[in-house]
Amino acid sequence: MNHWTWDSTWPAPAKLNLFLHVVGRRADGYHLLQTVFRFIDRADSLHFAPRADGGIVLATPTPGVPPDSDLTVRAARLLQQATDCPQGATIHLDKCLPMGGGLGGGSSDAATVLLALNHLWQTRLNRRELEKLGLALGADVPVFIHGRNTFAEGVGEAFTDVDLPPACYLVLHPAVNVPTAAIFGAAELKRDTPPIRLADWRHGQGGNDLEPVACARFPAVAEHLAWLRQFAPKALMTGSGACVFAGFPTRSKAEAVFSRLPAGMTGWIAAGLPEHPLAGL
């Protein structure tokens, strides 16, 4: 019996890119990527309340973001339109993940809205149909709907699931909001990394092709990464930044490094998840 109800707290977890390669570019300008997405237990939280008037209301708007352009509102309306659903919802979003951090927070929020309301409204789309809807909202939305740690290709929508070892991650958050479009649009971005086969990939292998651009344009990213690499040489930036991270086999090892964090730097420790908390929905 499924325990997810209108009274539930619905999680929207962060993701880390364990590597991120740009292997080409399509004629329409979209970049072709290879990456491994890993979910971690740092998350935004959402609550929903039913509305009989069919309205979609975000009770917790983000300052400076008009509700009509908020991804949570857009996701709910997209599901309504795709299924001719007359029901509405009031959405409460408790934001924990930073904007412009490369953790996929906005995409994860949108995915949780689609998963939750599809269940609560009983609109009965399957996961693949929800993934297609999510892709219209953003390239990272489908992986959160997919719900598994996965090797992703294409524009980030072709998935092959992977089993990843348990790990604890120290994540540092430079106090900058890195715009994804600016990083992908940079002339100096490396776009020709040779593709690798999943069978040839090993945990800990690969870099982030977006990292040099972000570090050059946002010195705080470079500063946090340099500090972390003193203790974890394989530390990486996630997504298009700004957050940087390092994986450790145990929580105590992550805490030992975290305890040395200089004043003025902020971060947290998060455990890697075997799958998205809503994977069984």
> pLDDT for 78-90, tens place per residue?
999 999 999 999 9
99 pLDDT band, cuts 50/70/90, is: confident
Give the predicted TM-score (pTM) of the model: 0.95
15 is catalytic: yes
Q: How sure is the predictor about 146, in pLDDT bands with cuts at 50, 70 and 90?
A: very high
For residue 38, the cross-strand partners are: 16
Please give the pLDDT value at position 2.
67
- For the chain, give every residue range classified as CATH 3.30.70.890: 168-271
Checking DSSP bridges between strand 56-58 and strand 88-94, what pairing results, if any? parallel
Catalytic, out of 44, 109, 140, 209: 140
Distances (CA, A) of 228 to 44, 89, 167, 215: 25, 43, 17, 14
Tell me what the pLDDT averaged over the chain comes to: 95
Q: What is the model's pLDDT at position 28? A: 86
Q: From residue 50, give the alpha-carbon distance in Å to each of 47, 80, 92.
A: 10, 13, 12
Q: Find the mean pLDDT for residues 254-271.
A: 97
List alpha helices for 103-192, DSSP H: 105-120, 127-135, 141-146, 180-184
In this predicted structure, the answer to whether residue 1 has a pLDDT above a threshold of 60 is: no
Question: What are the angstrom distances between the C-alpha of 178 and each of 13, 48, 73?
Answer: 20, 30, 23
168-271 CATH choice from 3.40.640.10, 3.30.160.40, 3.50.50.60, 3.30.70.890: 3.30.70.890
**So what's the pLDDT on residue 100?**
87
Query: Residues with Cβ < 8 Å from 93, sequence gap 6 or more?
Result: 44, 45, 46, 58, 60, 62, 72, 109
Mean pLDDT value across residues 184-198? 94
**Residue of 15, 44, 109, 209 marked catalytic:** 15
* Alpha carbons 279 and 203: distance in angstroms, whole number: 22
User: CA nearest 176: which of 141, 209, 225?
Assistant: 225
User: How far apart are the C-alpha atoms of 213 and 60, rounded to whole Å?
Assistant: 33
CATH class of 10-161: alpha beta
Confidence tier at 63 by pLDDT (50, 70, 90) = confident
Residues 6+ apart with CB under 8 A from 80: 54, 56, 87, 88
Q: Is 140 annotated in the active site? A: yes
Please list the residue range(s) of the chain that carry CATH number 3.30.230.10: 10-161
Encode pLDDT of 204-244 as tens digits.
999 999 999 999 999 999 999 999 999 999 999 999 999 99
